[in-house]
Structure 1
Amino acid sequence: MYKSIIRPILFQFDPEKVHYFTFSLIKNFSKIPGVSSLIRSLFQVEDPKLERELFGLKFKNPVGLAAGFDKNAVLYNELADFGFGFIEIGTVTPKGQEGNPKKRIFRLKDDQGLINRMGFNNAGVEAAIENLKSNQRKVLIGGNIGKNTDIPTEQYTQDYCDTFKALHAYVDYFVLNVSCPNVGSHAKLQDKDYLLELIGSVQKLNKAATSQKPILLKIAPDLNKQQLDEIVDLVAETKIDGVIASNTSVNREGLKATEAALEAIGNGGLSGKPIKDRSTATIKYLADKSNKSFPIIGVGGIHTAEDALEKIDAGADLVQIYTGFIYEGPGLIKKINKALLAR
């Protein structure tokens, strides 16, 4: 029903407007008595065999929602009813910011992909905290954090640290987003020396807290083997808890969309089916090179249960969906979990 009726209607409208309209719809419908229970009965798969334990956390299943969907922690309680094992909010920055000028999300229907240049648009960490105070503990929550756009380079680390400290009591794990192509100084954020500084600073804060939270690094799918080797070395050196592979891509190779269409869209991060193989290759390289010495969350182009299993076979411990959730609908979560049980 989603792909045959609902999606064709939604896809007639601007992607960003549809996103907020859908949020409002789910939020309001979930307030009707019995609706949340109905959604859970339709989509959730409960089985101890699906549980995963990683970095001190127990995930009720390995299928998560990637960052970028619920940036401000507005809908995580309602989204949990669809059967996710974990939900990642953000990217959250210290201060609220508008992000890049609109229009900034584009569908590539023939490719089953999206291009976005949102630019870390969010309401800021205090707004996220206010929303997280309503956490019903239905699902584990990750906090994906970044820096404000218009700040000097010497303030980057402080921005991450400020958000980390503020969010620490409200999320179950953290993700340092250093690989989004839609923010300034993208290259600096992925420089190994800078990452050592950033990770070290955040870890120092973590150790000083009364309880420690896992910290992961989110990387791009466009890194070459030398850069991936540096990531493996970085994880070994810093003892960071894991890696999320991968973020959106700036690579446009192999798309069905015409050059003219892509030129009209302009810059931005590509997600969905077109980056599936690149993301999987990144996961496999990291897993093989490190002898599977650290956890990996696999994300990028998961539109079917088979896509998710492919990521897990490549070395992912957990998976996340985003563009696949938009194209395939909430039934995708159930299909993945059912496929995992069938194994």
Structure 2
Amino acid sequence: MYAFAFRVFFSKLDPETAHHLVNPVIRLIGLPPFSWIARALTRPAASTRTKALGLWFPSPFGIAAGFDKDVRMVRGLAALGFGHVEVGTVTAIAQEGNPRPRLFRLIPDRAIVNRMGFNNHGAAAAAHQLEKLRRRTPDIVIGANIGKSRVVDVDDATADYVRSASLVAPHADYLAVNVSSPNTPGLRGLQAVETLAPLLQAVREAAGDTPVLVKIAPDLTDDEITGIARLAVREGLAGIIATNTTISREGLRTDAAVVEAAGAGGLSGAPLKARSLEVLRTVRSAVPEDFCVISVGGVETGADVRERLAAGATLVQGYSAFIYEGPFWGRKLNRALAAH
């Protein structure tokens, strides 16, 4: 049913417009009585419960940052079966992001190119939404992903991250430090160990008791990945999220003219699968067994989730396949996990 709707309707719409049309529907699903019906259809089996970050997750599979930037769809996404929802990316200063169009589908590759540029209403607004959610639905596991405000110079990035962390960390189950988006100038340079160390120290202090993870790019070398992994352990972080989108365009099936027309931005979806799995294995080999590693990138099926867990992932996330699979994607993956 959804495949037909995507082919004849959604695929013809501008991707960002389609996302905005879906937003109120998912929000509605999060409200009773619709949430009761949805949960009855999508609730993960008890066998999929997973302990991580000192919390119980109803399923190891959750929705990655980027889908719900302004903390509006959390209850609906949870009702659709996702074991956790990572909101954001949130910046200390509200910003509109890059000019549209800034989101593109590469349908033959089941991929997406985005150069959104951290469009969001700001950390204070996100904190307000999270606080309301905590009062109403304390059982949903929520991560908050924070990034650098575009107008802030890279040299002042630490104070900018600390401001966001101070606002949202008290209301989140974990905090993800995004230093790996390719769509904010200078951001990926913060992944250099000598720059990253003081930033993570400051954010961890600002976050208080909230676990802090760092999200890394797939375009780093294996040595750079190992260095960041060891730094994260040394600085007392709770985990690593691997990986963000890639700037690579290698091996795509989509017509080259279509790819070129999409332009710059981060590529996500199926083409990222192999590299994301490689990065996961590299990270896992450099960190202790009890260190949390969240694997994201190219995850589409229950078999993909099982492969990531077998390779050492503590939790797994997805996003792009949601666009192609539709609202029961989370349920489909949870059922596949319960069947094994």
TM range (shorter): over 0.9
Maintained 8 Å contact 1:84/1:139: no
Change (3 A) 1:29 1:198: closer
Q: Give, in whole Å, the separation in 1 of the partners of 2:154 and 2:285.
A: 34
Change (3 A) 1:51 1:9: same
Query: 1:260: which partner in 2?
Result: 257
SS at match of 1:270: strand
Q: What is the deviation of 1:204?
A: 2.2
Residue identity over aligned pairs, in percent, reads 39
Q: What is the deviation of 1:236?
A: 2.8
Query: 1:27: which partner in 2?
Result: 27
Count of residue pairs the alignment pairs up: 337
Do structure 1's residue 243 and structure 2's residue 240 form an aligned pair?
A: yes
Do structure 1's residue 137 and structure 2's residue 134 form an aligned pair?
A: no
Maintained 8 Å contact 2:106/2:259: no
Amino acid of the residue matched to residue 194 of structure 1?
A: T
Query: 1:51: which partner in 2?
Result: 49
| TM-score relative to the length of structure 1 | 0.94
Query: 2:224: which partner in 1?
Result: 227
Change (3 A) 1:67 1:187: closer
Q: Give, in whole Å, the separation in 2 of the partners of 1:5 and 1:260.
A: 26
Q: What is the deviation of 1:171?
A: 0.8
Maintained 8 Å contact 1:98/1:121: yes
Change (3 A) 1:249 1:57: same
Do structure 1's residue 198 and structure 2's residue 199 form an aligned pair?
A: yes
SS at match of 2:85: strand
Which of 115, 118, 121 pairs up with 1:117?
115
SS at match of 2:117: coil
Amino acid of the residue matched to residue 182 of structure 1?
A: N
- Structure 1: state its 5+ residue gaps: none
Do structure 1's residue 38 and structure 2's residue 32 form an aligned pair?
A: no
SS at match of 1:168: helix
Q: Give, in whole Å, the separation in 1 of the partners of 2:8 and 2:308.
A: 28
Q: What is the deviation of 1:213?
A: 0.7
Do structure 1's residue 294 and structure 2's residue 291 form an aligned pair?
A: yes
Q: What is the deviation of 1:168?
A: 2.1
Q: Can you list the C-alpha shifts for 1:111-153, whole angstroms capped at 9, x where unaligned?
A: 0000000001101012112222331224111010011012122
Change (3 A) 1:295 1:289: same
Q: What is the deviation of 1:98?
A: 0.6
Q: Can you list the C-alpha shifts for 1:315-340, whole angstroms capped at 9, x where unaligned?
A: 11111110011111232212222222
Greater CA drift, 228-237 or 273-282: 228-237
SS at match of 1:257: coil
Q: Can you list the C-alpha shifts for 1:75-126, whole angstroms capped at 9, x where unaligned?
A: 1112110111110000000111010111000000000000000001101012
SS at match of 1:150: coil
SS at match of 1:174: strand
SS at match of 2:240: strand
Maintained 8 Å contact 1:118/1:182: yes
RMSD of aligned alpha carbons: 1.6
SS at match of 1:94: coil
Greater CA drift, 282-291 or 241-250: 282-291
Amino acid of the residue matched to residue 176 of structure 2?
A: V
Q: Give, in whole Å, the separation in 2 of the partners of 1:320 and 1:5.
A: 24
Q: Give, in whole Å, the separation in 2 of the partners of 1:241 and 1:30.
A: 29
Q: What is the deviation of 1:293?
A: 5.3
SS at match of 1:218: strand
SS at match of 1:5: helix
* 1:95-106 equivalence runs, <5 A: 95-106=93-104
Q: Give, in whole Å, the separation in 1 of the partners of 2:267 and 2:160.
A: 26
SS at match of 2:138: coil
Amino acid of the residue matched to residue 36 of structure 2?
A: S
Amino acid of the residue matched to residue 147 of structure 1?
A: K
SS at match of 1:96: coil
Query: 2:62: which partner in 1?
Result: 64
Do structure 1's residue 338 and structure 2's residue 338 form an aligned pair?
A: no
Q: Give, in whole Å, the separation in 2 of the partners of 1:133 and 1:67.
A: 18
Maintained 8 Å contact 1:143/1:171: yes
Q: What is the deviation of 1:5?
A: 2.8
SS at match of 2:201: helix
Q: What is the deviation of 1:341?
A: 2.1
Change (3 A) 1:256 1:289: same
Q: Can you list the C-alpha shifts for 1:213-236, whole angstroms capped at 9, x where unaligned?
A: 110010111111111121222123
Q: Give, in whole Å, the separation in 1 of the partners of 2:29 and 2:319.
A: 22
Maintained 8 Å contact 1:43/1:330: no
Q: What is the deviation of 1:277?
A: 0.8
Query: 1:15: which partner in 2?
Result: 15
Q: Give, in whole Å, the separation in 2 of the partners of 1:6 and 1:256.
A: 20
Q: What is the deviation of 1:309?
A: 1.2
Maintained 8 Å contact 1:7/1:327: no
Q: Give, in whole Å, the separation in 1 of the partners of 2:212 and 2:35.
A: 31
Q: Give, in whole Å, the separation in 2 of the partners of 1:36 and 1:51.
A: 20
Amino acid of the residue matched to residue 324 of structure 1?
A: A
Q: Give, in whole Å, the separation in 1 of the partners of 2:132 and 2:230.
A: 39
Maintained 8 Å contact 2:28/2:76: no
Q: What is the deviation of 1:36?
A: 1.6
Q: Give, in whole Å, the separation in 2 of the partners of 1:2 and 1:41.
A: 20
